[in-house]
Amino acid sequence: MQDRNDAAASHVLDRVLVLEMVRVTEAAAIAASGLIGRGDEKAADAAAVEAMRRAFDILTIDGTVVIGEGERDEAPMLYIGEKVGGAPGTGPRIDIALDPLEGTTITAKAGPNALAVLAAAEEGCLLNAPDVYMEKLAVGPGYPPDVISLDKSVRENVEAVARAKGVAPHEIIVCVLDRPRHAELIGELRAIGCGIQLIPDGDVAGVIATTDEDTTIDLYMGSGGAPEGVLAAAALRCVGGQFNGRLLFRNDNERSRARKWGIEELDRIYRLEDLAKGDCIFAATGVTDGSLLEGVKRRRGGTMTTESVVMRASTGTVRWVRTEHRVG
């Protein structure tokens, strides 16, 4: 656990709430774990959503979902704008970004790195990101400011990180979502000689992996969901690192959707504090085993174990939480 005193600590996000957020992601992960490898993405996601929604009800907060399962007419619960928490009008007013099951396909196929994740911040501190793609570029802590930029080429970013790390460019390892749309990016990285770790899903975990030396991942590159970009940025705010994100629009409908949520600068490059500012909390619980967390384990004797991480930006605190749950 690392700790840092900081005058920016929020009076709204108190210590108790930090640990309570883990209970929420634990509930979602346990619910989803019953459908690991069953081949039913929708059922796994629905189970996680329902469990997370119930877990919010016992928290003494006045919460608003700013990134969730979609707009109200698209999602029955945890929709954007939904009020959550057991203290409406009286509890601390908190904005919440969440993904009850980040990696629905991973879970259905029993693959690695499925997570239940959420970020919480004071009202107005999380970007209301539209459900469009975002070009993402991330690096872990310990590098000079602005070592990466979406204004630079792929080669320039790799070479800049390599210089700062004191290694040759071909020694850099880049995490990329394994998607046809990344064929050109992968080709450029191959030409440099980089190592590439291709992941099937779960780009929140992919971005966070840049902060852990044990993963050996130096950079994250490529496009993925903008809401997941906000979640990943909240995590990096807590542990350090740099992030650039730029919204990608495929048609006028997506541009209109962005404007609906107050996005006017459509070509803007977002940095960490543009996406998640002020004090914030990030919590994640493993559903399946991954590079960041172990998945849910069912034990003999009617118990289950979960592994979670919870972080807070203002204090720099990172807590790893292993919990045994009595089932039934």
What are the tens digits of pLDDT across the range 31-55?
999 999 999 999 999 999 999 999 9
Where do we find the tokens 């790195």?
113
Q: Which range, of 51-65, 230-244, 314-328, averages the lowest pLDDT?
A: 314-328
Q: What is the mean pLDDT of residues 186-203?
A: 94
* Residue 239 pLDDT exceeds 70: yes
Residue-level pLDDT at 4? 41
pLDDT tens, position by position, 198-231: 998 888 989 999 998 888 999 999 999 999 999 9
pLDDT at 90 over 80: yes
**Which of 15 and 65 is assigned the larger pLDDT?**
65
Give me the torsion for CA of 35, 37, 42, 47, rounded to 10°: 20
Helices (H), 174-267: 183-192, 203-208, 226-239, 252-260
> For residue 243, is pLDDT > 90?
yes
Each residue of 109-153: pLDDT tens digit? 999 999 999 999 999 999 988 889 999 999 999 999 999 999 999
pLDDT of residue 79: 92
Domains of the chain plus CATH, in order, are 15-126+280-326 (3.30.540.10), 133-275 (3.40.190.90)
How many residues appear in the chain?
Answer: 328
Residue 1 scores a pLDDT above 60? no
What pLDDT score was predicted for residue 213? 85
* Cα-based distances in Å from 264 to 24, 92, 105, 190: 33, 29, 33, 36
pLDDT at position 2, please? Answer: 38
In sequence order, which ranges of the chain are alpha helices (DSSP H)? 15-33, 41-56, 104-108, 154-165, 183-192, 203-208, 226-239, 252-260, 272-275
Cβ of 180: how many Cβ atoms within 10 Å? 5
In this structure, what DSSP letter does residue 205 have? H
When computed from its CA atoms, the radius of gyration of the chain, rounded to whole angstroms, is: 19
pLDDT tens, position by position, 275-299: 999 999 999 999 999 888 999 999 9
Per-residue exposure over 206-241, b if at least 16 CB sit within 10 Å of its own CB, e if not = bbbbbbeeebebbbbbbbbbbbbbbbbbbbbbbbbb
What pLDDT is stored for residue 202 in this prediction?
Answer: 83
Q: Across all residues in the chain, what is the average pLDDT?
A: 91
pLDDT band at residue 6 using 50, 70 and 90 as cut-offs: very low
Please give the pLDDT value at position 7.
Answer: 36
Region 10-28: mean pLDDT is 84
pLDDT of residue 166: 97
What pLDDT is attached to residue 24?
97
Q: Residue 96's pLDDT is what?
A: 96
Reference 169, options 153, 150, 146; nearest CA is 153
Q: What average pLDDT does this structure show over 252-271?
A: 89
Longest dimension (CA), the chain: 57
Q: How confident is the model over 44-70, as a mean pLDDT?
A: 94
Phi, psi of 189 (to 5 degrees): -65, -40
Res 68 pLDDT > 80: yes
Percent above pLDDT 70 for the chain = 95
Q: What pLDDT does 75 receive?
A: 82
pLDDT of residue 8: 53
DSSP result, 249-314? -SSHHHHHHHHHTT---TTPEEEHHHHB-SSEEEEEEESS--SS----EEETTTEEEEEEEEEETT
